[in-house]
Amino acid sequence: MFAYIKAYAVSVESPNEKEKRSQKARELYQYLYNNREGLVFTIQMKEIIICH
């Protein structure tokens, strides 16, 4: 997931300062990366609940 978001951010880079897609993607990446421990726990808990 992180690699996909990072690749997207690079692919939409633009010299146009008004274009915010790359900046938003990088902010999303940073937020998710900084909170990855909670994300992994949540995903694991959902898998446990679905499997049972």
How many domains are there within the chain? 1
Own/partner pairs for 42-45, CB < 8 Å, 24+ apart? Answer: none
User: What is the reported pTM?
Assistant: 0.63
Residue 5 has pLDDT above 80, yes or no: yes
Residue 51 has pLDDT above 70, yes or no: no
User: Is the pLDDT higher at 52 or at 10?
Assistant: 10
Reported as a pLDDT band with limits 50, 70 and 90, residue 27 is very high
Residue 52 has pLDDT above 60, yes or no: no
Reported as a pLDDT band with limits 50, 70 and 90, residue 50 is low
Give the H or E element holding residue 42.
Answer: helix 36-51
14 φ/ψ angles, rounded to the nearest 5 degrees? -145, 145
* CA pair distance 34, 10, nearest whole angstrom: 19
Residue 34: which domain range?
A: 2-51
